[in-house]
Chain A
Amino acid sequence: MSAYEQPPGGGTPGPEHRAALALGDDALVLAQRLGEWAGHAPVLEEDVALSNIALDLLGQARTLLSLAGDEDELAYLREEREFRNVQLVEQPNGDFADTIARQLYFSVHQELLYGQLAGGRGELAELAAKAVKETAYHRDHAEQWTLRLGDGTAESRRRMQSALDGLWRYTGELFQPVEGVPADWEALASGWRNVVGAVIEQATLAVPEGPQSSAWSAGTGRQGVHTEAFGRMLAEMQHLHRSHPGASW
């Protein structure tokens, strides 16, 4: 256990702490990926939309990481093996279809999970109640683009199917129980399959058939085992902060 995994008051991290870190890292890492799109989107409206979603996720990450400790220490001073995000959110942006497939898979997961948590008690439930509204918008955005790309041109259809297929093996991890997150994981998995399956079919595409995990991706992101691209992403994100130890910004 590293110093940054300890809760604010010291001591042994409890389940709430682990929960905030896992969900906070998901949001932080995906926000970082979406931030890379700024100025590169296919239309100006998408520059606005993708930054908007990045900003929502970053807001969620800040709230969650603050529950677990100092947001900047946690974001900037942990190393690859200490991050607890699922591998799905760290996947490179790829083309617009890859980004939309990643958004579809993740935002449906987040909307269902936060929908469950919002009914509970405690800080996680409060965050979830607020975030579920943003997440519904993110899901709608991803859903609409999945339909446009899937049922658009032959080219967009090919790209959208390939993006859905390529990311499929990272989706199993979304349903691995996280300590401290009081969710019904089986209901989450079946709800997710129903929603995602319906969108994919409406987009005239095929629901991917392969396994939803690989030997190294089933729940391993949550244990700090990530994909190669992640280290490079962190190097870029943390470089300036680490170059000025102790400085405030």
Chain B
Amino acid sequence: MTTVLPERGSGGERPGGQEAGALGVADHLAMFDAAIAADERIEPRDWMPDKYRSGLIRQIAQHAHSEIIGMQPEANWITRAPSLRRKAILIAKVQDEAGHGLYLYSAAETLGADRDDLLDKLHTGRQRYSSIFNYPTLTWADVGAVGWLVDGAAITNQVPLCRCSYGPYARAMVRVCKEESFHQRQGYELLLALSRGTPAQHAMAQDAVDRWWWPSLMMFGPPDAESSHSAQSMAWKIKRHSNDELRQRFVDICVPQAEALGLTLPDPDLRWNEERGVHDFGAIDWSEFQEVLRGNGPCNEQRVTQRRTAHENGAWVREAAAAYAAKQAARTAADTTDAGAAHPAGADSTGPEQHTEGGPAV
């Protein structure tokens, strides 16, 4: 904790943070508010309001879920990638996404959440993931459109999160954003190759952009007037910009990129507004957004089912790893006892080589 308020209470032993020891809740809250106002980072053992904790757990978990559900639309093309170079890039990208999921679950666990419990909430539909991953990847060009637009929107959303008030989340986002911007450039480059390729490839790229443009704009969430969590998130500096601000920023970035790609964006109302110095764009179909959020998008059921099936099919593997780890621990304990008898000092006895700590190898 790097704070100018060294007395800021530790809430580490009581994740609920209700009982505050010598200091009253009001004192802790005042110190928390002062830390937020001073742009300091809140760390896992610091006192924090219950709603700050629970809101962050929800947000980080849903972010983690998005990473792992987001593996599916792209993994859909690994076996069919049209060149070995593209196949390697795609495998590396999907691997990175699994890694991002892992960083983010770890960040959520610093708040007292449990990864298995969060996964269970995903599998039973009690927690969400980004609505964008409920759209299908129908052609190879979709892999490029997802990289350019979906990762582009994600980066626009996530770069400000690198300055989010909760330290572990902010640090995870620094790592995630570096890799994401790499993916985004690769997606752009994929589309560029198609756009400049044969007429059939160009048409494939245009069709993909036409299908992914509006869903990507929806990734920034509902309009500011209807965003339920925004005000509190902004006050706590979890969020730094409003949904509409970020959406506008994204549109302004994409328009020249689309021109450079030689592709059009499917919006007849899209034009530069000289007065405002930004692009005007058409109305988003929020009824579609609501439908997808309600579980009625093209792939909602398929995505969750695949995730749940992978988890259920893997249960015997996880049980085996746990059983093996327990046996190894018991053997090590037995060996230590034996060694202890032979060498009373015990401490520097060299036990048998330990093969594993029980966790899956990475």
Contacts and interface: CB of A to CB of B under 8 A. Distances in A.
B95 A39 contact: no
Interface in B177-234: 190, 193-194, 197-198, 200-201
A65 B190 CA distance: 23
A237 B79 contact: yes
A153 B88 contact: no
Interface of A: 28, 32, 35-36, 38-49, 51-52, 54-55, 58-59, 61-62, 65, 71-72, 75-76, 95-96, 140-141, 144-145, 147-149, 151-153, 155-156, 159, 236-237, 239-241, 244, 246-249
B95 A47 contact: yes
B253 interface: no
9 closest Cβ pairs, A-B complex: A42-B314, A152-B320, A156-B320, A51-B95, A42-B317, A38-B75, A47-B98, A45-B360, A148-B324
23 contacts: A32-B79, A38-B94, A39-B75, A39-B94, A39-B306, A42-B311, A44-B105, A45-B361, A46-B317, A48-B95, A52-B95, A58-B84, A58-B88, A65-B84, A147-B355, A148-B325, A152-B319, A155-B316, A244-B198, A244-B201, A247-B82, A247-B197, A249-B194
B37 interface: no
Interface string B78-106: 11111111111001101100110110010
The interface centre, meaning the residue of A46, A65, A75 with most chain B CB atoms within 10 A of its CB, is A46
Given A45-B102, A46-B360, A62-B88, A40 B318 contact: no
Contacts of A236: 79-80
A249 B80 contact: no
B320 A39 contact: no
A43 B91 contact: no
Contacts of A241: 82-83
B362 interface: yes
Contacts of B113: none
Nearest to B358: A148
B347 interface: no
Contacts of B30: none
B203 to A, nearest CB: 11
Given A40-B306, A244-B200, 10 more contacts: A35-B79, A38-B78, A39-B71, A42-B313, A44-B101, A45-B362, A55-B91, A58-B87, A152-B324, A155-B320
Interface residues of B, number: 56
B319 A155 contact: yes
B72 interface: yes
Contact of A148 (B83, B309, B356): B356
B361 A55 contact: no
A39 B79 CA distance: 13
B352 to A, nearest CB: 12
Which DSSP category, helix, strand, loop or mixed, fits chain A's interface? helix
B23 to A, nearest CB: 39
A39 B72 contact: yes
A148 B71 contact: no
A3 to B, nearest CB: 19
B108 to A, nearest CB: 13
Contact of A51 (B91, B102, B140, B321): B91
A42 B201 contact: no
Given A35-B91, A49-B360, A156-B316, A151 B80 contact: no
Contacts of A59: 88
Interface in B45-77: 68, 71-72, 75
Given A52-B95, A96-B317, A40 B361 contact: no
Nearest to A58: B88
Contacts of A248: 83, 193, 197
Given A39-B75, A42-B314, A51-B95, A145 B361 contact: yes
B323 interface: yes
B121 to A, nearest CB: 15
B310 interface: yes
B59 to A, nearest CB: 19
A249 B99 CA distance: 27
B71 A153 contact: no
B1 to A, nearest CB: 30
A206 to B, nearest CB: 18
Contacts of B314: 41-43, 46, 96
B122 to A, nearest CB: 12
Contact of B84 (A36, A75, A96): A75
B83 A72 contact: yes
B175 interface: no
B84 A71 contact: yes
B320 A149 contact: yes
A75 B71 CA distance: 25
Interface string B244-282: 000000000000000000000000000000000000000
B359 interface: yes
B343 interface: no
Nearest to A32: B79
Contacts of A145: 361
B82 A36 contact: no
B327 interface: yes
B360 A152 contact: no
